Homo-oligomer: A and B are copies of this chain.
Amino acid sequence: MEDLSGDPIADLITSFNELNSSTAEELDEEPSPLEFMRYVARNTPFVVRGGAVDWQAIKRWNANYLREQLAGHRVNVAVTPFGNADAPTPMEGQDELVFAKPHEEDQHFEEFLKYLTTQEKGGLGGEVRYAQTQNDNLRNEYSFLYSQVPPSIPFARIALQKRPDAINMWIGSSQSVTALHRDNYENVYVQVAGSKHFVLLPALCQPCVNERELVPASYSRREDHLHLETEEGDKVPFAVWDPDEPEMRATKYSHLATPLRVTLNPGDMLYLPAMWYHKVSQSCSEEGICVAVNYWYDMEFSGPLYPLTSLVRTLGNQVTK
């Protein structure tokens, strides 16, 4: 292992680790707006166990209910061979990774749901389907259900003085994994059915995640299989290190990362601070589905945190590429 003594980036990460907890704080009720703002100021995650248990969504959204409510509707579904939508993926027969975007198609909701539950309960192979459009779909595609969640998270609305930029519905199975990435949003994530398993890293761990410029590629249906084809267009900068396989594709800094691990069960709420890296995998309810809702609030770009995070990215990429 390379000697990192005196290395400014190694010092940054170890100093952060020394000053911060390696577990996410657990609250047993929602924070006040001021309490929430203290977490935003520290850019530090927390979980509210049972914070959303009283939501109608938590009480009602089982497979039967969703099937009834969305009967006759078509929804956008991401289709991949391995549950690898928006993930670094080797092209067949090659070592080089590309950024694999899913095949997207509209499906009858009943058919989509039946596929998920049958595959999950039967332990079957085959293509993996995930409703994960992240385009404010709960106020659009799934607007029939929107009245069963709050239009905003009160503590976040009051603290941040913003309405959510997007409210996203996620319906999938244990086959899908969201690869390690980060978003420029303050994120409140609520589990509805099944469980989500988060692996979290602060933005300053950028030098650990091995960001590479990946050629974009997309899956498309070809008779009996999904075909991955590269695309023209800008390369996609993306983390290729996986904290669950820490020896593979590691940078010289990866071993310094101390990921926080959080599992959300139905009714739990996670504050995922802006710019934190997160990898998300899923377990299903007994019915064979995993359902969640998240609220994205625009982050604050003024102040020092955003430009400092960009600096670390520049330095990280200089050293690790």
Contacts and interface: CB of A to CB of B under 8 A. Distances in A.
A318 to B, nearest CB: 8
Interface residues of A, number: 39
A15 to B, nearest CB: 4
Given A203-B304, A302-B19, A304-B202, A41 B44 contact: no
A65 to B, nearest CB: 38
Interface in A16-69: 16, 19-21, 33-34, 37-38, 40-44
What is the total number of copies of this protein in its complex? 2
A132 to B, nearest CB: 28
A315 to B, nearest CB: 6
A161 to B, nearest CB: 8
Interface in A274-320: 300-312, 314-315, 318
A304 B305 contact: yes
Contact of A308 (B159, B301, B302, B304): B304
A8 interface: yes
A302 B12 CA distance: 13
B19 A306 contact: yes
A308 B12 contact: yes
Per DSSP, chain A at the interface is: helix
A247 interface: no
B15 A310 contact: yes
Interface in A175-220: 202-204
A226 interface: no
A97 interface: no
A11 B311 contact: yes
15 contacts: A8-B314, A15-B306, A16-B304, A16-B307, A19-B301, A19-B302, A19-B306, A34-B37, A34-B159, A38-B159, A42-B302, A44-B302, A304-B308, A308-B311, A315-B315
Interface of A: 8-9, 11-12, 15-16, 19-21, 33-34, 37-38, 40-44, 158-159, 202-204, 300-312, 314-315, 318
